[in-house]
Amino acid sequence: MIIITNSEAETIRAGEALGRELKPGDVVAIIGGLGAGKTAFTVGLAGGLRCAASVSSPTFTIVNEYPGSVPLYHFDLYRLAGEQELFGIGWDDYLGLGGVCAVEWADKAPGALPEGVIKVKIESLGGDSRSIEIQHTTQGDGSLVLQPPSHSVASDAF
């Protein structure tokens, strides 16, 4: 699925649409350059999961935890040297806590991601416009059904 957004608010709504479909144990790998909108998308994920806390980038803390009926564990791997550091902060433990793990800069630790990860690639199209590509690697009953946010273009629904 590809969603085109034209503002930060629309990027947040795209994340919210995905967040409403997530279940405990899901891992969302978010990839994009600096300023692409990864954190804005994660703000939306938290909203879709009904997490009440204010979301901010965990660049210096590596992980922020947001309580909710399904908690969100928000990772930022930008400053990590590799997968070993991620495992060193308890990555395996977080995977078993029954929440959703959202991982910014997931391309820095691809071998740490479990099967069935939901991949989100965000690219700037200039200005406030973004292309958000969402891929789910599970087949069969694990497929997600998303409603694209208003004022966006979506293709290849899964």
Domain boundaries, the chain: 2-155
**Is 46:57 a contact under the CB 8 Å cutoff?**
no
The CB density around residue 63, as the number of other CB atoms within 10 Å, is 18
pLDDT tens by residue, 65-118: 999 889 999 999 988 877 888 888 889 999 999 999 999 999 988 889 998 999
Helix, strand, or coil (residue 12): helix
Average pLDDT over residues 122-127: 95
CA-to-CA distance for 158 and 75, rounded, in angstroms? Answer: 26
Strand pairing category for 118-126 and 100-104: unpaired
CA-to-CA distance for 24 and 99, rounded, in angstroms? Answer: 5
For the chain, percent of residues with pLDDT exceeding 70? 84
pTM for the structure as a whole: 0.84
Instruction: Examine the pLDDT at 43 and tell me if it is beyond 90.
Output: yes
- Superfamily in which the 2-155 domain is placed by CATH: P-loop containing nucleotide triphosphate hydrolases (3.40.50.300)
